[in-house]
Amino acid sequence: MTIEKFSEISQPFKVILLDSYGVLRNHDGLIPGVVECVNRLRAEGKHLRVLTNNAARSPAAAAKNLKKYGLRGIPAAEIITSGATTRHFLQYKIRTGKVVYLGTPQSAEYIIGAGLEAVHISEVDLDDLTDIKAVAFLDDEGYDKNVDVNHVINLLRHCQVPVVVANTDLLYPVSKDNVALATGSVARLVEYVLGRRFIQFGKPASQMFQFAFESLLRDFPDLTHADVLMVGDTLHTDILGGNTFGVSTALVLSGNTRAERAETEISSSGIIPDFIIQSIGA
CATH number where 238 lies: 3.40.50.1000
With beta carbons less than 8 A apart as the criterion, state whether 133 and 99 touch.
Answer: yes
Does residue 228 belong to any structural domain of this protein? yes
Q: Which residues of the chain have pLDDT under 50?
A: none
pTM (predicted TM-score): 0.90
pLDDT at position 172 = 76
The whole-angstrom separation of Cα 36 and Cα 12 is: 19
Same-domain status, 73 and 110:
no
Same-domain pairing of 98 and 179: yes
Per-residue model confidence as pLDDT tens digits over 118-132: 999 999 999 999 999
Same domain, 69 and 123: no
Give yes or no: residues 53 and 146 share one domain. no
Count, residues in the chain: 282
Domain of residue 55 covers 6-13+26-82+209-249+264-277
pLDDT of residue 258: 87
| Co-location of 116 and 154 in the same domain | yes
Task: Tell whether 109 and 191 lie within a shared domain.
Answer: yes
H/E run at residue 99? strand 98-102
**Model pLDDT, residue 255:** 87
* Alpha-carbon torsion, ordered 76, 25, 18, 173, to 10 deg: -110
Residue 71 pLDDT: 95
Positive or negative, the CA dihedral 82, 86, 88, 89 is positive
Please enumerate in sequence order all residues whose Cβ is within 8 A of that of 127, keeping only pairs 6 or more positions apart, or say none. Answer: none
114 in any annotated domain: yes
- Residue 280 has a pLDDT of 97
**219 CB burial (10 A radius; 0-12, 13-18, 19+):** exposed
Residue 20 lies in a domain: no
Residue 1 placed within a domain: no
In a shared domain, residues 178 and 273: no
134 and 187 together in one domain: yes
Residue 173 lies in a domain: yes
**Is the domain of 113 the same as that of 215?**
no
Domain annotation covers residue 69: yes
Per the structure, the count of domains in the chain is: 2
Q: Is 254 within a domain? A: no
pLDDT for 26 = 86
Q: 145 and 237: one domain?
A: no
> What is the model's pLDDT at position 179?
80
Is 163 in the same domain as 225?
no
Asked if residue 134 and residue 103 are part of one domain, the reply reads yes
Q: Where are the alpha helices (DSSP H) in the chain?
A: 6-9, 34-43, 59-69, 82-89, 109-112, 147-158, 183-194, 207-217, 240-245, 259-269
Structural domain contains residue 255: no
Q: Are 56 and 106 in contact (CB under 8 A)?
A: yes
What is residue 5's predicted lDDT score, i.e. its pLDDT?
Answer: 97
pLDDT at 124: 97
